[in-house]
Amino acid sequence: MKSDLEVKYADLRAQLQALQQAPIKDFARIDQLIDQLEKIQLAIKAEHGIKGNNPNE
């Protein structure tokens, strides 16, 4: 079963893909989604004991 964070990440990723495929790009919303995805990704990593974006940490 996926965690709530993973479900939210998948939802935001789907929204991002839809915005990227749209004929008229909403770059402000795209940037906002990317920022949200980064925060969720870091939270998912933290759940698994990984901190930061450096795989060597």
pLDDT averaged over 10-residue windows placed end to end, the chain, 57 residues? 89 97 97 97 88 69
CA distances (Å), origin 34, targets 1, 6, 45, 49: 24, 15, 16, 22
pLDDT reported for residue 18:
97
pLDDT reported for residue 52:
72
Task: Please state, in angstroms and rounded to a whole number, the distance separating the CA atoms of residues 45 and 28.
Answer: 26
pTM of the model: 0.82
pLDDT reported for residue 32:
98
pLDDT reported for residue 48:
84
